[in-house]
Structure 1
């Protein structure tokens, strides 16, 4: 049956999402004109432990909601992120049983209302284990989180009503402990938006080099979630406004598979042999980067420091729109984080350009 061009589905008519994290460590004031297309700005982070008590603790954002709202285009939703890397203690308490989940959700809802937020982003890294404390608090003690994660999200969504619930989810398959074929459909049904952290695909737990973000790596992450039952239209593809470096052992002539020194100690701590540098800081070494056209990532081995560098470029950003966002029917994109882009807003502009192609 022929359908007139003027008739579109709600999904087709909806503008693509463009979510931007705005973190408390990089607070350069955005120019409203430069923020065109941003649909969600997400302040990071509220502590997870604030919501476990009755009454809840008090969250004081680093910037108030009304001020932040005035810095973005009309209609941009202002969201509160809870958690982040290294903060999951409150989630672990909140997810335990029906009573704790209801209290946690009620406290989130009241905090959103009192501060004027439009939405909540649950940044639990990572339910089921593999968080920062995985050596001290092993995954074997967190198996209850696998089933309870979706239950907690259901309670939060029920408590906040019409306000949006988004989640940040891991990019590495080894970290998708709670994202099983049984649980993912429940997780997907409970939330409105899924912010896929399709970066940090190499971290200090690795002992050979790889791109921390790439076209092929990001596509593999997205395809894994889709295969598990995640609704593609709810997913935002993630972009990182920073480069990462890892100390290699000896010369590194290719981006994949060079051995590294020990990047993590026996207790899971950082040995100081790896790190991240924001595009705001523009490390000079980035000018020497090489494009891995097979994987779709930028890299460089610095012989002076033995650092293996890995990052994204505007060209690979464009490829991700074509080969992932469009090809897989994703609902939009997100980036970490606003204040980490360079002075010319190179990466915000690259995302804005990509969004115009959708």
Structure 2
């Protein structure tokens, strides 16, 4: 009985393999989609590394504070480009999945190794796509920390992609460069895939690029929404800081490796020279929003405590939990005149959800590192 079932399965698979003869599944279409997909994955990998190392900079390297919009552009490309890659990935899988049904699936040890690489490539691509879409939708339907899993899976995916590309490049080059001209159906298929990706990019790009704001119907966060016209991810109530933020006894303490410890009330901060900066708040989910912030320069406050030019500063929030309740500010950022301890937004006192009474805002810095509800600066 078992042998009969196995033979029947082999016959079914062999029969199905012979039925997938559409030109849309030919080498030429698959090669073009594969080249485009490799470029998209490569771009996502590079911009993803920029995001990761901006949030977790190694001790031997620090990101500059200029250009102001560098992170806004790279993270916008990462998320918007990643979303636009979804139809491309699905189309590529549609063109090649009949190969998975070939019998026998493995003919040699080398073939088994390559099949394992393909499994990692397909599995990694689907994992990054599904979890990435869920993450920007704020639907955490998985039991692991997204950032860590997304980061390490990217190395698996790129490694498998490089092995696959090295093996398939001669055939892909031959199919693209010397193959017959496209049939009308194949050309229409490829244009449809490109159009779908372009439509997704167009309807999400406004989350990061203001000129396209009105078209951002698929964006998870749209500029102009939220308190004082700026989106937020974490509210004061949700962070459990509302009472502490509104406490009249709130003060800012500058401590650590300083010549003199400084304690400033809110009125003391307001009495310092006020500065204004137009800076974007940029989230790792890809959205960003320009805003006019007013407050005191971080460097002016640190100078009151006699801080050395090479010091690093840990900014601490009133929030008592969460991996982003503190952030580290390197010398290049705290010495930048655009880096503020903001007290006002758009000409009004900060809304509690934007970090009242005091928040950090700095150029070229991820939103999770623009610490809200600041109450302590620890110089290291």
When normalised by structure 1's length, the TM-score is 0.24
Of structures 1 and 2, the one with the larger relative CO (CA 8 A, separation 6+) is 2
Compare the two structures and name the one with the higher strand fraction.
Answer: 1
Compare the two structures and name the one with the higher helix fraction.
Answer: 2
When normalised by structure 2's length, the TM-score is 0.23
